[in-house]
Every structure is written in C-alpha cells, then in structure tokens.
Amino acid sequence: MVPINYYIILSAILFTIGALGVLIRRNALIIFMSVELMLNSANLAFVAFARAREIAMGQPNFSGQIFVFFVIAVAAAEVAVGLALIVEIFKSKRSIDVDQMSSMKG
Amino acid sequence: MTIDLILFLVLSLVAIATALGMLLSRNAIYSALFLVLNFITVAVFYLLLGAPFIAMAQVTVYAGAIMVLFLFVIMLLGAESLPKAQVLPWQKPLAITLAVLLSAEAAFLLVTRARPEGQILHPEDIANSMDNLREMGMVLFNQYLLPFEVTSILLLVAMVGAIVLTRKEKGEQK
C-alpha cells in the first residue's frame, strides 16, 4: 500500500505544472489544457483523501469519488463552451495568442 | 519495496514527465497527446486507489471525449503547422524497447497476481467488485440525486451554449 502522502505530493506537483502552464504559455489552447491538468490533479487528491478516509473509517465511503465524478462532468461542460469561445476568437482575430486578446470589442 | 510502491513511483515519473512535455512542447498536437498519456496514467492511479468507476470515467470522458474535442479544435484552427516529417534515428529502437518493457511488466503482474487455480487476484477484491459499483450507484442516486440532475442541466446548457456561440449569424458574411 502506497502512503497517501505520496499521492498528495504527486497531486501538488501536477497542479504546480498546470499553474506554470497557465502562467508561461500564450497559446489559449495550451492554457486550457493546463487548466484541465490542474482539475485532474485536484481529482487525484480527492480520490486519495477518499481512500484515506475509507481506511480510517474501515468501511467504503463514496462521497469523494462522487465529487470527482461531478468535477469530470463540469470539466466536460467547461471544455465545450471554452473551445467554442476559442474558435470564435480565432474567427475574428485569426490568432489564439492570449496577448492579443486585449481589446474589449469583438 | 512492494510492487505497489514500485508501480506508483514509475507511474508518477511518467505522469510528471508527460505533464512537463505538455507544458514545454512547441506543437499543440504534441501537447494534447502528452496530456492524453497523463490522463491515462492518472486513471491507473485511481485503480490503485480502489476507484475503478472513476478510472473508467476518466479514460472515457477525459482521455476520450475531451481530448478528442481538443484535437478537433487544434486541427480546425490549423494555427499550429506540423513540422517537417523528420526521422529520429533513436525513435524506433526506443519504442520497441518500451513496448517490450510494457508487455513484460503486464505479463509479470498477471502471472504473479494469479492464483494457482487460474484466477486473477485483484489488487483489492472488495474495491473492484460489482458490489462496490452498486453501492456507489445507490449513493449517487439517493444521497446526491439533486447535484446529479443539476449536472445534467449544466451539460445541456453547455451544449446549447456551444452551438449558439459557433453558429453563423443570419446574413453574416464569412
């Protein structure tokens, strides 16, 4: 059995990489993928904590897993709308560089 | 060191390496493929943590649907031009070595986890049984029914929103 701490550390590392991606990349698609990576690392922490709670309580407990299920569903919705927005921005600006999305007018 | 710990360490190396590859690669398509690999690795972590349903949902929804959508948009925009097809000299031997390693590892796990009478021993019999899934379904549809329905409404709203956003306006010249 792997200690829960290891999972939490891995989750923190993945989250940091995702946050770095949001900060240093200028391609809107890559930024989006980094956000997905951060959501994913949070999910990993959720499942790890759910497992720790199961072991501590000695009986199965599904609240953490169900929360992860909801996070996955919300991420799917977010991706659908976000990618539609990126396609629209590309249509009007011919670029998805976030540095060029400075004007409020379309 | 137990088998689980070795598996965890190797897989966490893969997860971190693919995340860094996603972050650092210049080509958006490579980034998307690295991210697919990362999601699959995290799905294996879910299996190790005794959450088979979440692992399968991760593979189908994240690695399947969401990343296909990403690849579709990358291709649609064509913003990233593929580099010239260059043959890497070390690519084929490396790929063959990794494939042999993977199959050896899988065979090793299957053989060592098998009982003498031919049954495959699960990492956690209770966690991966059907009872577990049934219990989870009961909790989901009893205790968390309202959030579940709200999620379905959210997905509907997202679907309509995506269609409305990308629809051509009437009389618009494109």
User: Residue B49 — very low, low, confident or very high, per pLDDT cuts 50/70/90?
Assistant: confident
Angle between helices B130-142 and B145-166 (to 10 degrees): 80
- Tell me how many domains chain A contains: 1
Residues in chain A: 106
Residue B85 sits at the vertex; the CA angle it makes with B83 and B90, to the nearest 5 degrees, is 115
Residue A98: predicted pLDDT: 83
Average pLDDT over residues B128-149: 84
Task: Say if A70 is an interface residue toward chain B (CB within 8 Å).
Answer: yes
- A105 within some domain: no
Q: Which residue has the higher pLDDT, B77 or A30?
A: A30
Residue B153 clears pLDDT 70, i.e. is over it: yes
* ipTM for the predicted complex: 0.90
Residue type present at position B141 = F
And the tokens for A37? 């990576």
CATH of B1-80+101-124, one of 1.20.120.1200, 3.40.50.880, 1.10.150.50, 3.30.2350.10: 1.20.120.1200
B161/A80 Cβ within 8 A: yes
**Partners of residue A80 in chain B, C-beta under 8 Å:** 69, 158-159, 161-162
Q: What is the mean pLDDT of chain A?
A: 88
Average pLDDT over residues B61-83: 81
As a whole number of angstroms, the distance between CA B62 and CA B82 comes to 24
- A106 within some domain: no
And the tokens for B65? 């649907």
Task: Say if A86 is an interface residue toward chain B (CB within 8 Å).
Answer: yes
* CATH number of the domain to which A34 belongs: 1.10.287.3510
DSSP characters over B56-70: HHIIIIIIIIIHHHH
Q: What is the mean pLDDT of chain B?
A: 82
Choose among A2, A60, A62: nearest Cβ to B8.
A2
Residue B91: predicted pLDDT: 83
User: Residue B147 — very low, low, confident or very high, per pLDDT cuts 50/70/90?
Assistant: very high
Q: Which residue has the higher pLDDT, B14 or B130?
A: B14
As a whole number of angstroms, the distance between CA B113 and CA A33 comes to 36
Domain that holds residue A12: 4-100
B166/A84 Cβ within 8 A: yes
- A78 within some domain: yes
Give the whole-number percent of chain B exceeding pLDDT 70.
Answer: 81
Alpha carbon separation from B62 to A33, A69, B19, B35 (Å, rounded):
11, 11, 15, 10
Average pLDDT over residues A22-48: 92
As a whole number of angstroms, the distance between CA B43 and CA A44 comes to 9
Nearest CA in chain A to B53: A65
The ranges assigned to domains in chain B are: 1-80+101-124, 129-165
- A89 within some domain: yes
Portion 14-53 of B in contact with A at CB < 8 A: 15-16, 19-20, 22-23, 28, 31-32, 35, 38-39, 42, 45-46, 48-51, 53
The answer to whether the beta carbons of residues B22 and A33 sit under 8 Å apart is yes
- A26 within some domain: yes
